[in-house]
Structure 1
Amino acid sequence: MKKSILRGLLLGGALLCSLPGFALSEAGTQSLRHLQNRWAEINYQLPEAQREAAFERLAGEAEAALKSEPNSAELLTWRGIVLSTWAGAKGGLGALDLAKQARASLEQALATDPKALDGSAYTSLGSLYYQVPGWPIGFGDDERAEGLLKQALGLNPKGIDPNYFYGDFLFRQKRYPEALGALQRALAAPPRPGREVADAGRHKEIETLLGKVRVELK
């Protein structure tokens, strides 16, 4: 398998949402905030060559946080995010193994509390299913991906991330008019307090993808 197969996974960004108002202890909430902020720094500010090692370290921190609160859907979700983004930075067979670990963590989060973080585990898992290669290489499944992304939008219809990832999915499916609408909704999403780095990075990704969609619609 070529290293580039999983390079470019966008999954980590699927869960840059607000902090939960319940379930986590104060220490758990601080851990979650750290994972969110550090993820944004690595993904949007660190040179690409340094990201794989940085995501590996962050995955270790996510695992450590879960030892204190193993049933936290929020932390399970973020472990999945970090693992999947690490997979994108790594590429190759090792990336596929990380993607499988991410899937397991996200599925566990959904089994624990599917509404945690505005249903963000649906967004991240859906993103995983359309970006990982399908059989016989991986477990990718476009039909499954769309179903999960629609569930995410059902819980968070105005969210920047579910609309962005659904727009990206639709673009890859060559459903350009639908992709345009989803991306415009993503661009119009309200800012997230404390998530300035994440929002700025995501907006750049939206604008880039919108440009590609508009070219196809000409």
Structure 2
Amino acid sequence: MKFLRAMLMTAFCLSTAASTYAAEADSLMVIQHKWAVCQYQSKDMDNQVHCLESLIQHNKQALKDEPNRQELKLWLAINESSLAGAEGGLGALSLAKEAKTLLEQVIDNAPETLSGSAYTSLGSLYYKVPGWPIGFGDDEMAEKMLRKALELNPNGIDSNYFYADFLAQDGRKKEAIQYLTKAQKAPPRPDRPLADQGRQQEISKLLGELQ
């Protein structure tokens, strides 16, 4: 009887752990999918801004529930960066600064989170945000972060795309095409088909502009 009770208790604990893991995975997957919807399926800019604002609130709540999950902190930074890009102008700078702080925290605590995606996101902020005295933009830091992202994820679609985009803006056309071609061949992410589809469209568009 004691053995049966112990077995049932073990099964319950395993089931609870599995359910907790599934819930954690689901919260991240929901945020990732919703971001792709906001980014690639919004009908217009106002719709995209509203979509991202709603997603940021959801992301903040998820992070409040699980404050030690670096993936959720990383994605809050990505969502804030995306909203800054959608809104544009000086008003978006505070969002970019918030995202920068979050990404630096992820890099300090768990730099390999999601294959080093914090480096990719921080690098993209450095080359997209205006430089001093308006913002913190810095091409040298951008390249440093983006190259570190490639060290951690050499075949990733995002790590290659954003480095290529940086190179294109820096006037290094031949190098940009090289990394765009590599991004095109990146292995698909089974849990993020919409994001992959949207990114591949961006890759093709940039390749068309450079070739």
TM-score scaled to structure 2, two decimals? 0.88
2:27 matches 1:31: yes
Match of 1:64 among 61, 65, 71: 61
1:48-63 to 2 correspondences below 5 Å? 48-49=44-45, 50-63=47-60
Q: Does 1:201 align with 2:201?
A: no
Aligned length: 191
> Partners of 1:164 and 1:45 in 2: how far apart?
20
Match 2:120 to one of 119, 123, 130:
123
Instruction: Compute the TM-score of the two structures, normalised by the length of structure 1.
Output: 0.85
Residue 136 of structure 2 corresponds to which residue in structure 1? 139
**Aligned partners of 2:103, 2:135: CA distance in 1, in Å?**
17
Give the Å deviation of 1:85.
0.2
Q: How far apart are residue 174 of structure 1 and its match?
A: 0.5
Matches within 5 A, 1:4-43: 25-43=21-39
Residue 88 (structure 1) aligned to one of 85, 89, 92:
85
Larger RCO, structure (CA 8 Å, separation 6 or more) = 1
Unaligned 5+ segments in structure 2 are 1-19
Provide, for residues 147-201 of structure 1, a one-character-per-residue CA deviation record: whole Å limited to 9, x for no partner: 0000000000000000000000000000011101000000010111021111111
Partner of 1:4: none
* Mapping of residues 116-195 of structure 1, within 5 Å: 116-195=113-192
CA distance in 2, matches of 1:193, 1:134: 37
* Structure 1 residue 125 displacement after superposition: 0.5
SS of residue matched to 1:199: helix
Counterpart amino acid of 1:61? H
* Partners of 2:41 and 2:106 in 1: CA distance: 28
User: Which has a greater percent of helix?
Assistant: 2
Please, what is the CA RMSD of the aligned residues?
1.1
Structure with greater Cα Rg: 2
